[in-house]
Amino acid sequence: MKVIKSEIEGLLIIEPKVFEDDRGYFFESFNESKYIEAGINLKFVQDNQSKSSYGVIRGLHYQLEPFAQTKLVRVLQGKILDVAVDIRNESPTFGKWMKIELTEENKKQLLIPKGFAHGFSVISETAVVLYKCDNFYNPQADRGVIYNDKILNIDWEIPPDAMIVSEKDKSLPELQNAEMNFKYTTE
């Protein structure tokens, strides 16, 4: 397993070691002891899975503390553009975002710590996304930032007339008006 630090502190790209032959492939999608060796000590308690069609944008979602979630995101089928936005108060990269293509072929994973809003767009015909969470879903702590925030200006790589967004996600506030309670720490 290879752990790659991104330009935004805390966001990590995980590249598992994949063994391929004429039968197909094998890899460990998660191995707690290897994560601990890499300095990542997490206890995942919930797995979430979604299937979406081309053009679907989900997000940008997060949960307030003390119910915030670290997520480990990967794609089982298809291709997505995965996006994480730093919403940690006093962070030197507050409001900055990173995007990465996660695909069934590249098998990359994105580790998104607490203090980030998360979303993705489906850029293949369909996509099945699986992510592990280190805290349970709490509907009262559920918050988000609108996907088309003008200041963030995220390119979801979907033409506007092909975007499929839920009514809930269309009603989320812009970043400057979003409720968030994350503190930036260097620990």
> What is the bridge-based pairing of β-strands 109-112 and 71-77?
antiparallel
pLDDT band for 185, please (50, 70, 90 cuts). Answer: confident
The whole-number pLDDT of residue 53 equals: 98
- Residue 186's pLDDT is 73
Given the residues 35, 62, 118, 131, the one annotated as active site: 131
For the stretch 134-170, pLDDT in tens is 999 999 999 999 999 999 999 999 999 999 999 999 9
Q: What is the pLDDT of residue 187?
A: 63
pLDDT for residue 149: 98
Q: What's the confidence (pLDDT) of residue 20?
A: 93
Concatenated DSSP letters for 152-185? T----SS-GGG-B--HHHHTPPPGGG-----B--
Residue 118 is a catalytic residue = no
User: What domains, with CATH codes, occur in the chain?
Assistant: 44-177 (2.60.120.10)
> pLDDT for 4-46, tens place per residue?
999 999 999 999 999 999 999 999 999 999 999 998 999 999 9
Give which of 130, 120, 11, 117 is closest to 64, Cα–Cα: 117
Percent of the chain at pLDDT > 90 equals 97
Q: What is the pLDDT of residues 60-105, one digit of tens each?
A: 999 999 999 999 999 999 999 999 999 999 999 999 999 999 999 9
Amino acid (one-letter) located at 140: Q
Instruction: State the catalytic residue, choosing from 61, 62, 118, 137.
Output: 61
